[in-house]
Structure 1
Amino acid sequence: MSYFGVHSSSSSAAASPSSPTSTIPSGYSTPASDIDELQSYDSGIYNARRSQSVLVVGGLGYIGSHTSLELLRAGYNVVIVDNLDNSYLTTLDRIKVLRDDHYRNALLRPSVAFHEADYRDNRTMSVIMERYSARSGSAIEGVIHFAAHKAVSESIQQPLRYYANNVAGMVTFCSLLESLNIKKLIFSSSAAVYGEVTTETGLRISENHCLHETREWIDVAGDKRVTQGGCTAISNPYGRSKWMCEAILNDLAISDPEWSVVALRYFNPIGCDASGKLGEDPRTAPSNLMPSLLRVMNGQTPHLKIFGTDWDTRDGTAMRDFIHVSDLALGHVAALKAVGEARVGPGFHAYNLGTGDGNSVKEIVSAMQACSGKVIETQEVGRRAGDVGVVVADPTRAAAELDWRTAKSIDDCKNSDVSQEHSTYLTLHTKRLSDGSQVAAELDFAEFNVTYASIRMSARINGASGAVAAFFTYHDDTNESDIEIPTGVKADEVHYSNQPTADPDTDVPIDGATFNVSMEAHKPTSDWNNYRLDWVPGKSAWYMNGAQSADTEVNVPDAESMIILSLWSNGGTFSGRMGTGQEAWFDIQWVELLFNTSASTSTDPDGTVCSVESSPGSPVPNASRGLQDLVAGRIWWAIGLASAVSFLVFV
């Protein structure tokens, strides 16, 4: 059953909260969604390219979303196609926020458009591509392809699914591109194409270890070597599917010299954007090391499985070339620029994107423990099918020909990933429309007979001035206790109140009914903070990050209530009204509720089960053990939403 119901507010279009488990309409049409109003670039070099766009298929996934963002930061218009098979629409919202932040002092900005579609669906893709046709051909100046399945172990279990999507899908897609004369393609390949090249510790693998025709080359020791065209000991269908795609693209470029294809071979991306607002958030259970580590740190899984401790490495665990995802994204931008500027000519070209240095699994675990101060429980198990021991890149060619080098270290990766420990599980969105109405979002607790409660959440709010996020008990406008978090110019304070805050007859403010609390002693409201409201008989109290901020016995609600989470683009006299076209986002990481209802019978005749003085703060989800002990044996209901908000959105 659902504990919360979702509905929209105001006369506008339906609200669009979205979460990893949400089935709520997103507001984006499919398969050919409404395009953002095309916007010109700022000035200068942007004007020469402002009518063209880069198509990114799979552009809301982990690497795809970071690349889409870096393209926008570099001044490219971006068209994203994604079927949301392993990604979320909230990622698109974050990309837009980060784009707007990057161009906050500019008059103009590049556009980003989104279409929900499977890139293998030729009919739907044809309709989408038709929207970007121009008199001289297509407005798509280049394509970056991320729309592949990528889990090694899953590929062993479901090889046909991988060959159908990764190989057959790419053939269908390239046929469409060829028919439209779009022949500049950046292809997401993988270090998996190298297979089990060597067991020699510390070897840096060059692109010459995997070729699509026989070639002689000179290694770093000055020795002549010969690589036969073909694959060498690739250990899983995922790697073979990537090699097959490369071979097909090589054949295509040979058959038609107008094609310029760059295959980028990745080496274990980790980290997140420096803002902390964009990271790795797959729908399926992660197989990559860093998100798996974070699940252990967050308590979502009990331990990290280390697959194999008998590899020929420094400590027996697998060694990888871990590259920061932002460096990887910039590698795609560099490849696109190199093709566009003809520094990389027609034909098929493969490049390694990596750091050239390797770290073992145990070394990464130790680094994360030192960074976070947390003990990460591990379980050593046997080798995983399809894995190899050592994969470390030689990135020399990318540096020379693409003018690309990594800028971030493993410390940047671990620090940015720890910031993702507080990841978003629910986002409410609001926007002021041109007709003056608003798209707003609200979640209503299904119980209407709550008599007192302790309400806690970890949240942040971003966006233009005039929006207000709220978390409150509600019976009517004269029986309400709330926390209100404003955006923009008012974002340096949080508002606590018991309604009404003014006498309804005289409009004179009621002393002790409202409090404005400065954020000077805390992180900005745009960062994660822990908020808490306690409503008990005769008293309301508010907490910030575990410390009490205010309390009052004035106007304490005495009527049975519901509990509401909401985001509005019109805060009235308190925060003002958002401008037309402006947006805001209310991100929630977790919610905890402890409450009683009029249908329950407390064993305490005074009903003071949750006293304001003795109830501890809740700095992390489900941490308030003392409060749970306090109410043990009484007829209370407790709900903790720590790692998912399916309680909030499922029916």
Structure 2
Amino acid sequence: MNNRKVLVTGGLGYIGSHTVVELQNEGCEVVIIDDLSNASISVLDGITAITGKKPQFEEIDLKDKAKVQDFFKRHSDIEGVIHFAASKAVGESVEKPLHYYENNINTLVYVLQELKTFNKKNFIFSSSCTVYGQADTLPISEEAPVKPAESPYGNTKQIGEEIIKDTCKIDESFKAIALRYFNPIGAHSSTEIGELPIGVPQNLVPFITQTAIGLREELSVFGDDYPTEDGTCIRDYIHVVDLAKAHVIALQRLLNGHNSSNFEVFNLGTGKGSSVLEVIRSFENVSGEKLKYKIVKRRAGDVTAAYADTNRAKEILGWQTKLTLDDAMESAWHWEQKIRN
């Protein structure tokens, strides 16, 4: 991967920034595009502190087609793209569907159009387990049917995959991998980068850590009447560093021409489901803090349970998770403590 030039859209975001670190660790020359709508420019310093190398950065709103065209004209030597840039909160997408469709679909189309224009071949798409909706069987394999989405966010990921698949159909030399990941949590062990939501967190773990440190009064647990052992939703929580490494392996697969078809799909998760209350207990165990939380009504768009069948990623990519739920919760807590001091 030495000196391969890679574009990471949304590269100052949570998963994007950790992936940039792993790409740079493998010797890639990374260019980041981010509009800073849900990220801080300070993340650039965190990446640089970890890797000793500052990635190129351009502040661009990918909804601006002219700016996307101009970027690719100036960076015609890019060899691969990892596309993270998207709005990503299930609950918010229910409230703001048109924003999600504009931001998640238009931006993808504009990037793909430029890749076609400049004959670029290697594309990794940040997809999601939300494409499965409430799956019929658990764990969820890549063969599980893609069901009607439970939220506009999930629908944008389904539509995104369809757009990429159709692009691959008309050009057999265009190669893409959609990585359907489950619930990323945790932070880099250096505490230089981590999850840094702007405003009120939409995801469970940063809300837990912000509550524990006193930034939020209490955590809301959305429903305790689901048909699960403790009544709370079950998800597959994957450490963000494990997840980032999978993106590098997937891109390497495309760059080396090892893909078996020009559109491939892989689940990325631990293969184990944890309930909301189990995540809370894990946090309390590793932090020594007692968390204040209350049970509230269910949230629109949430499915009961989702966790991954990880066999395909293990067998074909040679990738599997190495870090545990406790590892992730501990790193998230250390990150929260650092950024509040």
In the alignment, structure 1 residue 74 sits paired with structure 2 residue 26: yes
In 1, the alpha carbon distance for the partners of 2:93 and 2:106 equals: 15
Structure 2 counterpart of 1:59, one-letter code: G
1:86 corresponds, among 5, 28, 38, to 38
Q: Give 1:234 shift.
A: 1.7
- Give 1:125's aligned residue: 68
Q: Give 1:382 shift.
A: 1.1
SS at match of 1:366: helix
- Give 2:86's aligned residue: 148
Q: Give 1:295 shift.
A: 1.0
- Which digits, 9 at most, give the CA deviation of each residue in 1:68-118, with x for residues without a partner? 111001111100000000001100011011111xxxxxxxxx662000001
Structure 1 counterpart of 2:5, one-letter code: S
In the alignment, structure 1 residue 380 sits paired with structure 2 residue 295: yes
- Give 1:205's aligned residue: 140
- Which digits, 9 at most, give the CA deviation of each residue in 1:498-541, with x for residues without a partner? xxxxxxxxxxxxxxxxxxxxxxxxxxxxxxxxxxxxxxxxxxxx
Structure 2 counterpart of 1:127, one-letter code: D
Structure 2 counterpart of 1:205, one-letter code: I
Residues 178 and 265 in structure 2, CA contact (< 8 A), matched pair in contact too: yes
2:49 corresponds, among 97, 109, 114, to 97
- Give 1:223's aligned residue: none
SS at match of 1:421: helix
Residues 17 and 43 in structure 2, CA contact (< 8 A), matched pair in contact too: yes
Equivalent positions of 1:40-51 (< 5 A) are 46=2, 50=3
Q: Give 1:313 shift.
A: 1.2
- Give 1:409's aligned residue: 324
In the alignment, structure 1 residue 236 sits paired with structure 2 residue 151: yes
In 2, the alpha carbon distance for the partners of 1:356 and 1:53 equals: 32
Residues 191 and 265 in structure 1, CA contact (< 8 A), matched pair in contact too: yes
Residues 162 and 238 in structure 1, CA contact (< 8 A), matched pair in contact too: yes
- Give 1:167's aligned residue: 105
In the alignment, structure 1 residue 57 sits paired with structure 2 residue 9: yes
Alignment CA distance shift 1:111-1:381 (3 Å): closer
Q: Give 1:351 shift.
A: 0.5
Residues 344 and 401 in structure 1, CA contact (< 8 A), matched pair in contact too: no
2:170 corresponds, among 255, 262, 269, to 255
- Give 1:190's aligned residue: 128
SS at match of 2:120: coil
Q: Which runs of 5+ in 1 are unaligned?
A: 1-44, 101-109, 134-138, 211-230, 425-588, 591-651
- Give 2:56's aligned residue: 113
Equivalent positions of 1:446-461 (< 5 A) are none
Alignment CA distance shift 1:254-1:344 (3 Å): same
In 2, the alpha carbon distance for the partners of 1:99 and 1:126 equals: 30
Structure 1 counterpart of 2:219, one-letter code: L
Equivalent positions of 1:334-373 (< 5 A) are 334-373=249-288
Equivalent positions of 1:587-602 (< 5 A) are 589-590=340-341
In 2, the alpha carbon distance for the partners of 1:246 and 1:404 equals: 22
Q: Give 1:282 shift.
A: 1.7
More helix by share: 2
In 2, the alpha carbon distance for the partners of 1:412 and 1:369 equals: 13
Residues 49 and 192 in structure 2, CA contact (< 8 A), matched pair in contact too: no
Residues 149 and 162 in structure 1, CA contact (< 8 A), matched pair in contact too: yes
Structure 2 counterpart of 1:208, one-letter code: E
In 1, the alpha carbon distance for the partners of 2:256 and 2:314 equals: 16
In 1, the alpha carbon distance for the partners of 2:336 and 2:119 equals: 44
- Range with bigger deviation, 114-123 or 349-358: 114-123
2:210 corresponds, among 279, 295, 300, to 295
SS at match of 2:164: helix
TM-score scaled by length of structure 1: 0.51
How many residue pairs end up in the alignment?
A: 341
Q: Give 1:176 shift.
A: 1.3
Residues 306 and 380 in structure 1, CA contact (< 8 A), matched pair in contact too: yes
More strand by share: 1
Structure 2 counterpart of 1:246, one-letter code: E
SS at match of 1:408: coil
Residues 48 and 54 in structure 2, CA contact (< 8 A), matched pair in contact too: no
- Which digits, 9 at most, give the CA deviation of each residue in 1:446-491, with x for residues without a partner? xxxxxxxxxxxxxxxxxxxxxxxxxxxxxxxxxxxxxxxxxxxxxx
In the alignment, structure 1 residue 389 sits paired with structure 2 residue 304: yes
In 2, the alpha carbon distance for the partners of 1:372 and 1:405 equals: 26
In 2, the alpha carbon distance for the partners of 1:159 and 1:418 equals: 32
In the alignment, structure 1 residue 314 sits paired with structure 2 residue 261: no
Residues 45 and 54 in structure 2, CA contact (< 8 A), matched pair in contact too: no
Equivalent positions of 1:541-552 (< 5 A) are none
In the alignment, structure 1 residue 158 sits paired with structure 2 residue 96: yes
Structure 2 counterpart of 1:342, one-letter code: G
Residues 20 and 30 in structure 2, CA contact (< 8 A), matched pair in contact too: yes
- Which digits, 9 at most, give the CA deviation of each residue in 1:518-576, with x for residues without a partner? xxxxxxxxxxxxxxxxxxxxxxxxxxxxxxxxxxxxxxxxxxxxxxxxxxxxxxxxxxx
Residues 236 and 273 in structure 2, CA contact (< 8 A), matched pair in contact too: yes
Structure 1 counterpart of 2:103, one-letter code: N
Structure 2 counterpart of 1:204, one-letter code: P
Q: Give 1:345 shift.
A: 4.0
SS at match of 1:60: coil
Higher relative contact order (CA 8 A, sep 6+): 2
Q: Give 1:168 shift.
A: 2.1
Q: Give 1:287 shift.
A: 1.2
- Pairwise CA RMSD of aligned residues? 1.4
Structure 1 counterpart of 2:183, one-letter code: N
SS at match of 1:349: strand
Residues 262 and 349 in structure 1, CA contact (< 8 A), matched pair in contact too: yes
Structure 2 counterpart of 1:323, one-letter code: I
Q: Give 1:406 shift.
A: 0.6
TM-score scaled by length of structure 2: 0.97
Identity %: 42
Runs of 4+ in 1 over 6 A off after TM superposition: none
Structure 2 counterpart of 1:209, one-letter code: A
Residues 343 and 401 in structure 1, CA contact (< 8 A), matched pair in contact too: no
In 2, the alpha carbon distance for the partners of 1:293 and 1:207 equals: 31
Structure 2 counterpart of 1:170, one-letter code: L
Equivalent positions of 1:464-503 (< 5 A) are none
In 1, the alpha carbon distance for the partners of 2:62 and 2:51 equals: 25
SS at match of 1:140: coil
In 2, the alpha carbon distance for the partners of 1:268 and 1:331 equals: 14
